[in-house]
């Protein structure tokens, strides 16, 4: 057996069909075994270079998330939705921007709802609503792994990064999550959301105010954290007075939030009772007997009655001395 035959036998499995001359533009394929080996190695190097090139291109998209254009009718609001007001000026501005751009340039995030091909919003309720009203597809990121707790946390972070909720909205939202036992405690919720427990407690004070107190304000969104803290303390001292005053304010003329707070707290501050010895003072100065009364305890319409009582007393004293 010749050297050529022996080499061909040993390298037969490595032989690869060479591309045609027309396809490759390289001339005829090698006919010898060493030539076949060289062609194989050349093809391997080209494939390796191509793989390296593709890996480099792939790194440019590392960590990116695909965005899909979804029918807004297949997307429903989350049970944790905390932005329900779509009639304010800011929403109108957002809707106009989306209409001008032909869609939402900042994608919303959704997760499968479990109902066929429908989705539930993680965050982006206002953008979804704008696209729905405009009849435009909504650009969305589909997260199939997110949990309900993760959904709540991401929605909270998204809202705080954009436009903060009012103290009332925050309080109602946190209270609902705790009532549904999404977390076992305020502390656990605070850690998950990256907040202090004081932030959660302050928000809950607003949500836990009696409905009568809330109704006394022009809007629940006008109640600030500091006002809720003051009202919470006052309600523990004189709850009946504050509740009565709140009912009067709700039926009365409109007031600003600071005016309502001042009126409610004013009703809570009961006047300091005067000591008995300070209510009436009698002092003899020579031929005069000076009587001192606390004016706040004597209504103006009863001053004449008091004068008549004193005159009658003096007449009795004179009669007794005769």
Tell me which residue of 138, 216, 203, 198 sits closest to 175, measured CA to CA. Answer: 203
Give me 13's structure tokens: 């499995």
Looking at residue 18, its pLDDT comes to 47
Q: How wide is the angle at C-alpha 107 spanned by C-alphas 104 and 108, nearest 5°?
A: 110
Instruction: Judge contact between 243 and 212, C-beta under 8 A.
Output: yes
Mean pLDDT of 306-315: 76
Give me 193's structure tokens: 């959301």
Looking at residue 123, its pLDDT comes to 87
Is pLDDT of 279 > 80?
A: no
Looking at residue 42, its pLDDT comes to 78
Can you say how many angstroms the Cα of residue 135 is from the centroid of all Cα atoms in its chain? 27
* Alpha-carbon gap, residue 111 to 143, rounded angstroms: 5
Mean pLDDT of the chain: 79
pLDDT one-digit tens code per residue, 247-271: 988 888 888 999 999 999 985 544 4
Identify the weakest region by mean pLDDT among 45-54, 185-194, 239-248, 251-260.
45-54
Looking at residue 88, its pLDDT comes to 75
Give me 317's structure tokens: 């004293």
Complete DSSP assignment for 302-319: GHHHHHHHHHHHHHHHHH
The residue ranking higher by pLDDT, 305 or 297, is: 305
Q: 91: which DSSP letter?
A: H
Looking at residue 173, its pLDDT comes to 85
Percent of the chain surpassing pLDDT 90: 35
Burial 139-153 (b: 16+ CB within 10 A, else e): bbbbbeebeeeebbb
Q: Which domains are present in the chain?
A: 3-48 (no CATH), 65-146 (3.90.1530.10)
Instruction: Judge contact between 264 and 217, C-beta under 8 A.
Output: no
Burial tier of 211 (Cβ tally within 10 Å: 0-12, 13-18, 19+): exposed
Q: Does the predicted TM-score (pTM) go above 0.75?
A: no
């Amino acid at each position: 057996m010749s050297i050529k035959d022996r080499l061909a036998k040993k390298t037969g499995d490595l032989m690869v069909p060479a591309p045609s001359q027309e396809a490759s533009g390289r001339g005829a394929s090698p006919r010898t075994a060493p030539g076949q080996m060289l062609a194989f190695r050349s093809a391997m190097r080209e494939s390796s270079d191509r793989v390296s090139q593709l890996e480099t291109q792939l790194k440019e998209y590392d960590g990116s998330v695909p965005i899909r254009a979804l029918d807004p009718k297949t997307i429903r609001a989350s049970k944790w939705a905390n932005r329900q007001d779509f009639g304010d000026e800011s929403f109108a501005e957002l809707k106009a921007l989306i209409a001008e751009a032909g869609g939402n340039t900042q994608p919303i995030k959704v997760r499968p709802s479990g109902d066929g091909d429908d989705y539930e919003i993680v965050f982006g309720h206002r953008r979804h609503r704008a696209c729905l009203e405009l009849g435009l597809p909504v650009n969305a990121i589909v997260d199939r792994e997110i949990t309900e707790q993760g959904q709540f946390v991401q929605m909270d972070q998204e809202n705080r990064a954009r436009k903060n909720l009012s103290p009332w909205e925050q309080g109602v939202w946190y209270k609902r999550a705790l009532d549904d036992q999404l977390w076992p405690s305020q502390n656990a919720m605070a850690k998950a959301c990256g907040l202090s427990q004081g932030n959660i407690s302050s928000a809950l004070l607003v949500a836990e105010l009696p409905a009568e107190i809330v109704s006394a304000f022009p809007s629940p969104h006008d109640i600030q954290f500091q006002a809720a803290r003051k009202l919470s303390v006052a309600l523990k001292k004189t709850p009946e007075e504050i509740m009565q005053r709140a009912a009067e304010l709700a039926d009365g003329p409109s007031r600003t939030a600071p005016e309502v707070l001042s009126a409610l707290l004013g009703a809570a501050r009961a006047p300091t009772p005067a000591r008995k010895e300070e209510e009436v003072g009698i002092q003899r100065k020579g031929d005069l007997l000076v009587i001192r009364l606390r004016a706040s305890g004597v209504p103006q319409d009863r001053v004449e009655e008091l004068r008549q009582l004193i005159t009658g007393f003096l007449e009795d004293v004179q009669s007794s001395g005769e």
